[in-house]
A = this chain, B = another copy of it.
């Protein structure tokens, strides 16, 4: 199977982090693997170390904790985004949540082992450090905004912002997952929707 088109797509998308030279890319792509997930397949589970970082070619992933038997969704990743239990991937400690495909999903994976091999390969080590740094810095910026939203906004304000800035999510994600993402219960989100609908009608 020829995955050239997908690899080229990945290379292009990764430019927002770092640009690989042709020589670097030839090395880099040898460390990649493709993997398909059916809906409900798990990318990561609690208690196991997350060994991979993935790039989503198509599909979507849901991150959730289980607390007293109840699933609580904390995050989503969609196509052209990365997916990983980052803390576990970095620290090599057991992960604490599930990451599950919520659609048929195809990933391009890099294993921790391959990451480390590249970090020790002088031909590409520097670029890999840059790559790892930019990814981490990118996510820090996202986290800064997300934490601020919990500190300075009410659930209703978070919902309205999300509707404005990421409205497409509601077309793909069950609403009770979104509720958890906003830090509230599904019942509460349903009420907020009813409340705020009237304002714009």
Residues of A whose CB lies within 8 Å of any CB of B are: 65, 67, 72-75, 86-87, 90-91, 96-97, 125-126, 129-130, 132-133, 136-137, 139-141, 143-148, 150-152, 180-181, 183
Contacts and interface: CB of A to CB of B under 8 A. Distances in A.
A166 to B, nearest CB: 16
A132 B133 CA distance: 6
Q: Can you tell how many copies of this chain the complex includes?
A: 2
A152 B67 contact: yes
17 contacts: A65-B151, A72-B151, A86-B141, A87-B141, A87-B145, A125-B126, A126-B126, A129-B129, A129-B133, A132-B137, A136-B136, A139-B140, A139-B143, A140-B140, A140-B143, A143-B147, A150-B150
Contacts of A125: 126
Contacts of A126: 125-126, 129
